[in-house]
A = this chain, B = another copy of it.
Amino acid sequence: MIKSPLQIARESYSPKLPAALKGSVKIVEGKKTESVADQADIEKLFPNTYGMPVLTFEEGESGATDKAISVGLILSGGQAPGGHNVISGIYDGLKKLNPANKVYGFLGGPGGLVDNNYQELTDDIIDHYRNTGGFDIIGSGRTKLEEVEQFDKGLENCKALGINALVIIGGDDSNTNACVLAEYYKQKDAGVQVIGCPKTIDGDLKNEMIETSFGFDTACKVYSELIGNIQRDANSAKKYWHFIKLMGRSASHIALECALQTQPNITIISEEVEAKSMTLDEVVSDIANKVAARAANGENFGTVLIPEGLVEFIPAMKKLIAELNDLLAHNEEEVNAFETNKEKREYLVEKLSAEMAEVFKSLPNAIANQLMLDRDPHGNVQVSMIETEKLLIDMVKAKLKKMKKAGEYVGKFAAQGHFFGYEGRCAAPSNFDADYCYSLGYTASVLIAEGKTGYMSSVRNLTAPAEKWIAGGVPVTMMMNMERRHGEMKPVIQKALVKLDGAPFKALCAKRDDWALNTKYVYPGPIQYFGPTEVCDLPTKTLVEESK
């Protein structure tokens, strides 16, 4: 591997640790915990891991085992900056406890555990990946660990390798599954602990005890760098509106954080669109009105941030997609027999409910075609393929044309679409994520040595300097509630959507009218690793607002 000069310089960075993790660790047990909702159901499903106390680490006498242990690591789901540092934190923590401790990586995600596809991690390998982005050290994958056969196969493979504990680094679903696995192994007295680590750039795995998931900080900073650059371009050329879609289907934390960092003219928050039961046409009108207001000031340029999942948060679109999925599933042959999209669409309009037929008719061709054509293997519309940024550009353009005729708009509208996602998921971690991830991993190693299972690694107080961060463990059951999934009630970690009464959203609301009309762009620039601390060690605006 040829390393870039930055990678070489960055290899020697020592992530900052909370004070309690620097020496011998004393575990302080809190009170018995309850799940956030549906306590009776959750307790019944997790008789062996429910109600455990929150654990907080302090400097002091350790009760951890010094018997040699072996640990298996799994990276689950989409990449997030800092995954390699979680792994180096676990590795260093375990090796410090006992140099004979072993660390295995299961390759290509949870599937590696089931298929016994693994690699032992050594100093050489770990040193190669310190402070780098990506999950390429052992690869990731999207296999879900949900079936008892998988659990048993995994246990068999762990036993063969002498593995005493698994660490699953993943999002809400993966941590839910980690908890089910922990319960299963504990119930069987299998001798394999399971610890989770909160990963996702989307930022939707958070709660009272998990202030943020790792990777969110770095990904948002990369996107904000690009948004800032585009805004500077918009403000220099003064001729384009830039519609920027940002990754994150199930929540709008990324769009919100990037908005607080860059102060764009318009930011759509899906959770607000849903709460207000807005139609697509209302979303479009709202943008068009702001375009017109700026045009009245002679400013025919601007920026719009769009969360990737928007379409699914618009109640009418959600309903339309559901009806279309049904219709297309039951009338596949008839639909496919038509030669043109126009005929297909006319046929479907006839079959849809009157309300949805109107919605479907109102859509621009390009999007209507996508809704009719791109199906996933289960026959469902692939919502992530919808180019929402282009859909909005087309619809705003059409709306402005009408407004111009009505004398409500005087200006020129030209737009560029962007989608940022893959650009940030594997960026090298910011100092914050490098430190946070390393601390999460180190914390996991302590939880393992203390014999804990069904816990998620937790590092809190994150707006303070790393020295003062609070490390410990949180029972996963504490974050759970019951939700309907594929027609069945399941215990799952409650997903954290953007709270409309939360401080970050309120911070946006307080400023957005000013930002819309006036040009108040901020240009954050690229992530810096070597400069002054006020440049290099900033937490996200979301964390700062939430900790106020």
* Residues of A near any B CB (own CB < 8 A): 1-7, 9-10, 78-79, 108, 132-136, 139-140, 222, 225-226, 228-230, 232-233, 235-238, 240, 242, 261, 263, 340, 342, 416, 418, 422-428, 520, 522-532, 534-535, 538
Are A528 and B426 touching (Cβ within 8 A)?
Answer: no
Q: Contacts A2-B263, A229-B426 known; A132 to B528 CB distance under 8 Å?
A: no
Complex Cα distance, B416 from A233, in Å, reads 25
Count of this chain's copies in the oligomeric assembly? 2
Give complex CA distance A298, B525 in Å.
38
Choice from B1, B7, B140, B422 contacting A229 with Cβ under 8 Å: B422
Residue of B with least CB distance to A423: B226
- Give bound CA distance, A1 to B235, whole Å: 13
* B2→A522 contact, CB < 8 A: yes
Expressed in whole angstroms, the Cα–Cα distance for A466 and B535 within the complex equals 26
CA–CA, A133 to B135, complex, Å? Answer: 33
Secondary structure call for the A interface: loop
- Starting from the known contacts A6-B525, A230-B422, 15 additional A-B residue pairs (CB-CB under 8 Å) come to A5-B534, A5-B535, A79-B233, A79-B237, A133-B229, A134-B232, A134-B236, A135-B237, A136-B236, A226-B423, A236-B426, A528-B529, A528-B530, A530-B532, A531-B531
What residue in chain B is nearest A135 (Cβ atoms)? B236
B6 touches A79 (CB 8 A): no
* Complex-state Cα separation, A242 to B423, whole angstroms: 11
Q: Which of B4, B140, B225, B529 contacts A523 (CB 8 A)?
A: B4
Question: Looking across the interface, which residue of chain B has its beta carbon closest to that of A342?
Answer: B340
A225 to B218, CA, bound (A): 14
B79 and A236 within 8 A (CB): yes
Q: Find chain B residues with CB under 8 A from A3 CB.
A: 522
B228 near A222: Cβ-Cβ < 8 Å? no
Tell me if A531 and B534 are in contact (CB < 8 A).
Answer: no
Complex interface: chain B residues within 8 A of A4 (CB): 228, 261, 522-525
* A6, B524: Cβ atoms closer than 8 Å: yes
Q: List 20 A-B contacts (CB under 8 A).
A: A1-B520, A4-B261, A4-B522, A5-B534, A6-B525, A6-B528, A6-B535, A78-B237, A134-B233, A135-B236, A135-B237, A139-B236, A229-B424, A233-B422, A418-B423, A428-B523, A526-B527, A526-B528, A530-B530, A531-B531
